[in-house]
Structure 1
Amino acid sequence: MRVLVTGASGLIGTALCARLAAGGHDVVRVLHRPSVAPFTGPPPILLDMANALRAQDWIPHLAGADAVVNCAGVLQDSVRENTQHVHTGGASALFAACEQANVKKVIHFSAIGVDRQQPSAFSASKLAGDEALMARDLNWVILRPSVVLGRPAFGASALFRGLAALPLLPVMPDTGRLQVVQLDDVISTVLFFLRPDSPSRLALELAGPEALSMNKVVACYRHWFGWNSAREFILPNWAAAILYRVGDAAARLGWRPPMRSNAAKEIERGAVGDPQPWIAETGIQPSSLATALSLNPATVQERWFAGLYVVKPAIFVVLPFFWIMTGVISLTTGWRSGVELLIDTAVGALAGPAVVAGALADMIVGALIAWRPTGRLGLFGAIALSLFYAIAGSILRPELWNEPLGPLMKILPILVLHFVALAVLEER
């Protein structure tokens, strides 16, 4: 078959495309931005669902397609994402295009429970997309998975690994139970419904066999890592609210933290459902989390990732703060010290302008690191600036290498931290 897959760089989309390609299918991947992930098939189509709001935007890409699988989704509105446009506007345009292009088979990913409650823009827009598909003359299947976990460290799979690495586990208040479902079971379900003889025009909840609390899910991952149980404490509501607001602020800078206000609303209602209709239709017996983890023993790479998960946001808070505040201090309380440091050197006549230039360069680098789309550029700029300061300092004031507080010596760990930041910058 020729299958067009939207959201092809996400957790479900990536795994699905790999399975389809391995099965000999012709896979047309739709991405909203370029991906470095290798793929044996043809180059992807770069098309952002948030901007593809007309059927005409999709029809050229549906030529020869036998089926469409819509895996596109975003958690919350931000500077880079729009739930209404992706889940409703773009999805509706895609479904209309499928009807016009006579692509009858459409499999659409929604979310569990959206037909019962819509506490956020995420679930409300998901439901609107479901209804748009149901109104079309298509052989549609709507899959509403619970929290999807798999071997790839992405989304919830990454979050639970990171939480499992904490020796003291903060438990968010007012969280519902989760019937987590395994990625392999989800992919097998899609492959089942892509068969020509499969049923259609039905909506199914994909839920695991157990309803677990979030701390129980984390405990399963700690056991998988081979670690003892963590001490738990329930975060006060005010502390949880601050964390969610910090996540919202990070999203406005282009980052994609899992803890945002939409997530708070969604986890409060939980992610539980009835898997029996799914089992009856497909014959797939969903795996429990413990069983799935036991089949894939944790590796040292898994433990590294878990340990770095909570370190990464700390790095990308500290580095912008360091560079911006260095510039601010140079222009304010540290002005005299900066000028005096240069006054007796070869650039003494330009001491004032040099301090201003350095301070502005520091603040620009910090701002670039803080803004996710320019983060990589900012890190390379910071490395270049650090090397310049080390070389210039060695020429102009070599005695600073021998100072008790080591002002030039400290450039070395700063450089290393920037290379660590580059290594963990990628989100997918």
Structure 2
Amino acid sequence: MKILVAGGTGFIGTNLCAELAERGHEVTALSRSPADDLPAGVDSAMGDVGAYDSIVETVADHDAVVNLVSLSPLYQPPRGKTHDAVHLGGTENLVRAAEAGDVDRFLQMSGLGADPNATTAFLRAKGKAEEVVRDSSLEWTIVRPSVVFGEGAEFTNFTKTVTTPRVTALPGGGETRFQPIWVGDLVPLLATVLEDDAHVGETYEVAGPQVLSLADVTELVYEAEGKDVTIVPVPMAVSKLGLAAVGPVPFVPFGPDQARSLEVDNTVSDNDVTAFGRDPAELLTLGEQLGLDPSSADERPVQTT
């Protein structure tokens, strides 16, 4: 199968391209800039999903398209970009190009809580993009993962950006809950979606084996570095006021939308990894990926699903 991965040079994209190539597919990573360090057997194509004319010919030459293009929900969008423009507009262009090019399969990466009426701009745009995919003539599948971790992932770097070792303040005491999934567990599911017709027309919510609060994640990240940390709660209302005040400042990476995102848990009620024959309890935990011994008495207690 000839597969185009839009956003194929990013963290998830690079791992997915490698998985697909290992399974014998012809894989092309689409990005706005040329890539020099792609996995073996993966080709590169230049194009911007925000500009239809730059992608239409490339898309038409493939059997399947994967849309991984995304702005981070953890930071304010870069100057000149919006969630609607990238997530909704980019999806509209990819779907239009795929329909025009007689592409069969379309895999859309969305996010937990995606809804046109969601409380954050990120989730609203993701929700509207899902509607575009569902209304298309393509054989589509939508996957909504919780936050994804692994080597080079944004999630743990974000945690260290907003915290400090020894003593750190967290909005609401860091009670926002996540269910992180390891990229090495996620990408085989994505590859299987493209290979198995049984997944056409389905929307899957996938997550890891543990529910962790932001405070739990902070403690695990610093424990892996041999450091202690004490969490100082900051009332959510105070955090929202502070982020609202700095929101318009270009060099501050957080704003009101990020504050609102901390009021929404990023977890699943039913983990759809079971649709792929996986037992959630067998997936890699964040602590294990950070090199912590699961049997160690020092590992932080976590809630399991």
TM-score of the two chains, using structure 2 as the length reference: 0.82
Separation in structure 2 between the aligned mates of residue 216 and residue 116 of structure 1, nearest angstrom: 30
Letter aligned with residue 10 of structure 1:
G
Letter aligned with residue 266 of structure 1:
S
How far off is 1:187 after superposition?
0.6
Separation in structure 2 between the aligned mates of residue 164 and residue 239 of structure 1, nearest angstrom: 14
Letter aligned with residue 103 of structure 1:
V
Percent identity reads 26
How far off is 1:173 after superposition?
2.5
Structure 2 segments unaligned to the other structure (5+ residues): 293-305
CA 1:105 to 1:290, structure 2 compared with 1: closer, same or farther past 3 Å? Answer: closer
CA contact (8 A) 2:17 2:42 kept: no
- Give the structure 1 partner of residue 119 of structure 2: 119
- Give the structure 2 partner of residue 280 of structure 1: 274
How far off is 1:224 after superposition?
2.6
Higher percent of residues as strand = 2
Separation in structure 1 between the aligned mates of residue 37 and residue 212 of structure 2, nearest angstrom: 33
CA 1:217 to 1:163, structure 2 compared with 1: closer, same or farther past 3 Å? Answer: same
SS at match of 2:176: coil
- Give the structure 1 partner of residue 44 of structure 2: 44
- Give the structure 2 partner of residue 179 of structure 1: 179
How far off is 1:41 after superposition?
4.5
Deviation string 1:43-75 (CA, Å, 9 cap, x unpaired) is 53232223x2x4x54330024312111001113
| Structure 2 counterpart of 1:73, from 70, 73, 77 | 70
- Give the structure 1 partner of residue 227 of structure 2: 227
SS at match of 2:27: strand
Deviation string 1:305-360 (CA, Å, 9 cap, x unpaired) is xxxxxxxxxxxxxxxxxxxxxxxxxxxxxxxxxxxxxxxxxxxxxxxxxxxxxxxx
Task: Using CA pairs under 8 Å that are at least 6 residues apart, name the structure with larger relative contact order, 1 or 2.
Answer: 2
Does residue 169 of structure 1 match 2:141?
no
CA 1:180 to 1:196, structure 2 compared with 1: closer, same or farther past 3 Å? Answer: closer
Separation in structure 2 between the aligned mates of residue 206 and residue 128 of structure 1, nearest angstrom: 20
CA contact (8 A) 1:5 1:69 kept: yes
SS at match of 1:73: coil
Deviation string 1:207-260 (CA, Å, 9 cap, x unpaired) is 2233221001111222333333x1110135445643565465235xxx8x3x33
Letter aligned with residue 166 of structure 2:
P
- Give the structure 1 partner of residue 188 of structure 2: 188
How far off is 1:112 after superposition?
0.2
How far off is 1:199 after superposition?
2.0
- Give the structure 2 partner of residue 90 of structure 1: 90
- Give the structure 2 partner of residue 388 of structure 1: none
Separation in structure 1 between the aligned mates of residue 31 and residue 284 of structure 2, nearest angstrom: 33
Separation in structure 2 between the aligned mates of residue 20 and residue 141 of structure 1, nearest angstrom: 17
Deviation string 1:170-194 (CA, Å, 9 cap, x unpaired) is 1112853112222122111101112
How far off is 1:34 after superposition?
4.2
Higher percent of residues as helix = 1
CA contact (8 A) 1:83 1:121 kept: yes
Give the number of the structure whose alpha-carbon radius of gyration is greater. 1
Separation in structure 1 between the aligned mates of residue 257 and residue 9 of structure 2, nearest angstrom: 22
Letter aligned with residue 66 of structure 2:
V
- Give the structure 2 partner of residue 381 of structure 1: none
- Give the structure 2 partner of residue 367 of structure 1: none
Aligned residues between the structures? 287
TM-score of the two chains, using structure 1 as the length reference: 0.60
How far off is 1:264 after superposition?
1.7
Deviation string 1:86-141 (CA, Å, 9 cap, x unpaired) is 11112112112212222111110111011385112211111111000001122111
CA contact (8 A) 2:147 2:181 kept: yes
| Structure 1 counterpart of 2:287, from 272, 283, 293 | 293
Separation in structure 2 between the aligned mates of residue 156 and residue 117 of structure 1, nearest angstrom: 25
CA-based RMSD of the aligned residues comes to 2.8
Letter aligned with residue 55 of structure 2:
W
Letter aligned with residue 214 of structure 1:
L
CA 1:163 to 1:124, structure 2 compared with 1: closer, same or farther past 3 Å? Answer: closer
